[in-house]
A and B are shown apart, each in its own frame.
Chain A
Amino acid sequence: MTSMTTPSRILVVDDDQAIAEMVGIVLRGKGFEVATSPDGASALEAFPRLRPDLVLLDLMLPGMDGIEVCRRLRRESGVPILMLTARTDTADVVEGLEAGADDYLTKPFEPEELVARIKARVRRVEPATTEQLSIGDLTIDVDGHEVRRDGELIPLTPLEFDLLTQLARKPWQVYTRDVLLRDVWGYRHSADTRLVNVHVQRLRSKIEQDPENPSIVVTVRGVGYRAGSGS
């Protein structure tokens, strides 16, 4: 992960030139380094070269749509992806989240909101620690951002890692979705709980032996989630 000594690099993928430029102005004003791509293909092509710390991805793109871009990016990287969407009432949002986006912003949004959301995803520069956590039969190397089962590495995106670490730190505590949104996603006000649901599903599909009957991230009906005992 890039340290904050060098500015975080944001890749903005939006076919609307005006908004891309405006986002660029706002983000540069906040000290980010910004690159823009007008469509999915060029974004995918530029991605390995730019190695951005976060991708700001418009869902409605000409040619390959945002969801497909998201899916392909996720295949090769755990980079935080923030979707921009004009529609919240369609299945787009859930589809985008399931394709691997970490979070989403609905147009129109406040510049402050955009910056807050970006910072929430790239802020994680924690002091070095040798903290070792375990949850179920997994061991978490907090400093190395690594999760292992029987010594075998399980690749997680930073968001999934944060989510798991959050649950593992206080295994006795039941986290409501609102609390997770605040602690993991950095929302100060209540937000879309679908974010939590979708990412818990994605996390389970990676760490659970049997995602249908989860034993590591357990649902507490009507409340939220907590760490389970494992198998």
Chain B
Amino acid sequence: MSTEEGPAAEPDAPPSAGRWERVQRAADPRRWSLALRVVVVATLLSTLALLAVGAYLSTVIADGLYEQRRDRVLEETVEVRDDLGESLAQLPGSTSTQQQDAVRAFVQSTGGQGGGDRREVALVPVETTGTLFPVASSDRTLFDEVDDEFAAAVAEQPDAVSWRSIGREGPDGRTSPALLVGTRVVVPGAGSYDLYLIYSLQEEQETLGFVQRVILGGGLVLLSIIVGIAIVIARMVTTPLKRAAHAAERMAGGDLSSRVEVAGADELARVGESFNDMARSLAQKVDDLTELSYVQQRFVSDVSHELRTPLTTIRMASSVLDARREDLPGELQRTTELLAAQVERFEVLLADLLEISRFDAGAAELEAMREDMDALVERAIEDVRPLAGARGCLLDVRLGDGSATAVVDARRVDRILRNLLTNAIEHGAGGPVLVQTASDEDAVAVVVQDFGHGISPEDARRVFDRFWRADPSRARTLGGTGLGLSISVSDAHLHGGWLQAWGQEGEGAVFRLTLPRRPGTELVRSPLRLERPFDRERADAAVSSTPTGEIRIGPDLLPVLDADPVEDAPSEGERR
């Protein structure tokens, strides 16, 4: 299972995180995969367990070896003591030199014997009749090992055998463990001797070392086997989880047919089954909703179409009446006028409804061709010129430099532009309307700005809602259907573009259309600024000389507003 978190969880992570951050991230166990964590934990715990077992075994074996050897050493010591006692007892009354020779001979013969073990023997006369010197089987360093404390212990218990572990420095300078044994030999008539023996434990030490190496080697083999088992088990668990995770990811990506292969009846199989059940019920729900939504769209579409036939009759009737208006009395004349106007409005509303239902059904298709945006803007302005003239509204058009060609659906773009222009003229309160275009490598943009009643930035988010009105009491003078901006925003989205609104209460409103040069390429920024100042006085001053519907095209009419390209989130005042 991957612990990679989705982009939603870490929105700030830049795509190219530094190497150090990557290292840090890799070192954080919370980011490791489950399998890795299982293996690491298993390895650590097994190592600890093996170390404990190894240490225990090693200690027990060492103790056993030591005790066994010690017991044998003590037995031997008693034997040596008895031998010594016997051999010394055969020399009563002999001279000191004879005794000395006998002792030396005994020490020499005893040292170096002893079951193949290296044994050193020293004999120290304690109370003798003659003058005897201490004798050692090897060099005299033997005597250095016998300190006063040990000598005292031997003297204290003349019949017992005293022993002690020592480190004996060998001829090569290395210290090896050894056992120092001491006892007192009392020979009647020949005095007392302290007998010291040193038994080397080198062999036992080597055995222990070997055993420890075996334990270590076995431990390592066992550890690697355990790691292998952990990997296998982790995989056994995580592979189905991974499959489930992939299936969930595919489903999150929109593929509702994504399912997990389920084998067996264990917990993991249950995870898979539950997932599949969930996916099935989700797909079913989505299908139901899609069906419902489809039925609703179909209904809207059918209603709109069904209304068309009677509407045609009404419209023709109204036209026939309208054509004979002169023959009618005054009141009826006005009645037919109203009838004609409202029938027309009804028809526009119906057309808009149909268009909306087409978007909702996803049936809207882009008929994109290479077009010059500036030309489209100019054409739309020509179309609304009479309206602007009637309102005494000046259209200040400032086309951007450079080529503004883009692959767009001219009919839809024209509809958007006409909508924005009509809106601006309607809500501009007779003030000027600024139309600005600009382009960069990836996008073309048109801004339509008015200096009228304005909208608050909060309302700007809602202007694209169907049938939304900033002020419910405000009359709709141009007979808009309340669907125009909603259709426009859908038209923009169909191009992969943005239609955004912004404004200030009492100061004006700005609408910005940004379209990619090629439909479908993702927009990241707009060549024009959306949030911009409303300098009404300077705007008025710039146009006060011609308060008509005259169109002026030039760069100097309005104060230069910030036209720097800015990055804007597409969510700004926009609905999808």
Q: Which residues of A contact B (CB under 8 A)?
A: 16, 18-19, 22-23, 25-26, 29, 86-87, 89, 107-112, 114
Contacts and interface: CB of A to CB of B under 8 A. Distances in A.
Nearest to B350: A108
A96 B370 CA distance: 30
Classify the secondary structure of B's interface with A.
helix
Contacts of B316: 19, 22-23, 25-26, 111, 114
25 contacts: A16-B309, A16-B313, A18-B310, A19-B310, A19-B312, A19-B313, A22-B316, A22-B320, A23-B316, A25-B316, A25-B320, A26-B316, A26-B319, A29-B320, A86-B305, A86-B306, A86-B308, A89-B358, A107-B309, A108-B312, A108-B350, A111-B315, A111-B316, A112-B319, A114-B316
Given A25-B320, A108-B347, A111-B320, A87 B312 contact: no
A19 B317 CA distance: 10
B151 interface: no
Interface string B497-514: 000000000000000000
A185 B315 CA distance: 24
A87 B305 contact: yes
A114 B350 CA distance: 20
A163 B308 CA distance: 32
B308 A107 contact: yes
A110 B315 contact: yes
Contacts of B283: none
**In this complex, which of A25, A107, A112 has the most chain B Cβ atoms within 10 angstroms of its Cβ?**
A107
B13 interface: no
Contact of B320 (A18, A19, A26, A107): A26
A108 B308 contact: yes
B363 interface: yes
A140 B358 CA distance: 45
Given A29-B320, A110-B319, A112-B319, A22 B308 contact: no
Given A107-B311, A108-B312, A22 B363 contact: no
Given A26-B319, A109-B312, 15 more contacts: A16-B309, A19-B309, A19-B310, A19-B312, A19-B313, A22-B312, A22-B317, A23-B316, A86-B308, A86-B309, A87-B305, A108-B311, A110-B319, A111-B315, A114-B316
Contacts of A112: 319
Interface in B105-127: none
Contact residue range for chain B?
10 to 19
Contacts of A25: 316, 320
A26 B313 CA distance: 10
Contacts of B350: 108
A131 to B, nearest CB: 39
Contacts of B347: 108
Contacts of B309: 16, 19, 86, 107
B475 to A, nearest CB: 26
Interface of B: 305-306, 308-313, 315-317, 319-320, 347, 350, 354, 358, 363
Given A19-B309, A107-B312, A109-B312, A89 B317 contact: no
A137 B170 CA distance: 126
B351 to A, nearest CB: 9
Contacts of B363: 89
Contacts of B311: 107-108
Contacts of B354: 89
Nearest to A17: B313
Contacts of A26: 316, 319-320
B354 to A, nearest CB: 8
**In this complex, which of A29, A108, A109, A111 has the most chain B Cβ atoms within 10 angstroms of its Cβ?**
A108
Contact of A108 (B306, B315, B358): B315
Contacts of A19: 309-310, 312-313, 316
Nearest to B346: A108
A222 to B, nearest CB: 10
Contacts of A89: 354, 358, 363
A23 to B, nearest CB: 7
A112 B315 CA distance: 11
A111 B354 CA distance: 22
A114 B315 CA distance: 12
Nearest to B304: A86
B360 to A, nearest CB: 13
A22 B321 CA distance: 12
A22 B313 contact: yes
Nearest to A14: B309
A22 B313 CA distance: 6
Contacts of B312: 19, 22, 107-109
B497 to A, nearest CB: 22
Contacts of B320: 22, 25-26, 29, 111
B319 A111 contact: yes
A89 B364 CA distance: 9
A11 B317 CA distance: 20
A145 B500 CA distance: 58
Contact of B313 (A18, A29, A86, A110): A18
Nearest to B354: A89
A16 B305 CA distance: 14
A84 to B, nearest CB: 8
Pairs of residues from A and B, 4 with the lowest C-beta to C-beta distance, nearest first: A108-B312, A107-B308, A86-B308, A86-B305
Contacts of A111: 315-316, 319-320
A87 B301 CA distance: 9
A82 B313 CA distance: 17
A108 to B, nearest CB: 4
A124 B350 CA distance: 36
B294 to A, nearest CB: 15
Contacts of B313: 16, 18-19, 22
Nearest to B358: A89
Nearest to A87: B305
A213 B443 CA distance: 41
B348 to A, nearest CB: 11
Nearest to B364: A89
A112 B306 CA distance: 22
Contacts of A16: 309-310, 313
A41 B359 CA distance: 37
A110 B316 CA distance: 6
Contacts of A108: 308, 311-312, 315, 347, 350
B375 to A, nearest CB: 16
A86 B309 CA distance: 7
A185 B309 CA distance: 24
Contacts of B358: 89
Contacts of A114: 316
Contacts of A107: 308-309, 311-312
A215 B305 CA distance: 42
Nearest to A106: B308
Contacts of A110: 315, 319
A111 to B, nearest CB: 5
